[in-house]
Amino acid sequence: MATGGFFLTVEGIDGTGKSTQARILAERVRGAGREVVETREPGGAPGAEEIRRLLVEGDPGRWSAETETLLFTAARRDHVERVIRPGLDRGAVVICDRYVDSTRAYQGAGAEARRMLVDRLHALAIGLDPDLTLVFDMDPAEALRRASDRLLDSREDRFERKGADFQARLRAEFLAIAAAEPSRCVVIDAARPREAVTAQVWAAVAARLGAGA
């Protein structure tokens, strides 16, 4: 297996099982002898976690999309400085549950000016793109049902409360991102049984890391 730092992100609407699959993947990569940094967005570093609470809790309409973009970018800058870049500099495989593609889908969707804002801020303040992005895809109604079950006892449901139509738009945005960057993105059929999803994830990652399946 190659030993240089590798940055992998997992994306998709909530309820697709991406977080579970990221944990399974992390254990397998560790088993292959690599250091793994598991992290998430928004959050992943102390300052970024403070911003996370502002973003994922409370009324769905508490922020405009533009304000959310600024908050996400601030959290991401702290996360990259304190966690992601140091891990990559050590040669680790960094697995991040959500990154800039989520900001593009959630805050940039439906308005060219907002998408341009996301991309310009990313270029100016972040400047780090993933080596590989796995986009977990499934029917939004089923994903929302799964996410709702998981969030019954959680306050982090601000985006889920925007409803099924919003989730359908997000799915379309994630698939459009994957189609626009096929060299970076791999779409994962998250509706299949867990073992089949795990196998598809490992096949995509092993091909990039040079690991034997």
pLDDT at 112 (0 to 100): 80
pLDDT at 76 (0 to 100): 96
Q: What is the pTM of this model?
A: 0.89
> What pairs with residue 97 in β-bridges?
10, 40
Q: pLDDT tens across 93-125, in order?
A: 999 999 999 999 988 776 788 889 999 999 999
pLDDT at 11 (0 to 100): 98
Encoded amino acid at 181, one letter: E
Give every CB contact of residue 125 below 8 A, 6+ residues apart in sequence: 73, 76, 77
pLDDT at 146 (0 to 100): 74
**CB-based contact 155:57 (threshold 8 Å):** yes
pLDDT at 111 (0 to 100): 73
pLDDT at 2 (0 to 100): 58
Architecture of domain 6-209: 3-Layer(aba) Sandwich (3.40)
Q: Where are the domains of the chain?
A: 6-209
CA 203/CA 102 separation, integer angstroms? 23
pLDDT at 163 (0 to 100): 62
Alpha helices in the chain (DSSP H): 18-31, 46-56, 65-79, 85-89, 100-106, 112-121, 140-150, 164-180, 194-209
pLDDT at 213 (0 to 100): 41
Q: Can you list the residues of the chain whose pLDDT is less than 70?
A: 1-3, 60, 110, 147-163, 211-213
Dig out the tokens for 161 from the structure: 């409360």
Going from the C-alpha of 127 to that of each of 30, 68, 70, 130, the distances in angstroms are 27, 19, 15, 10
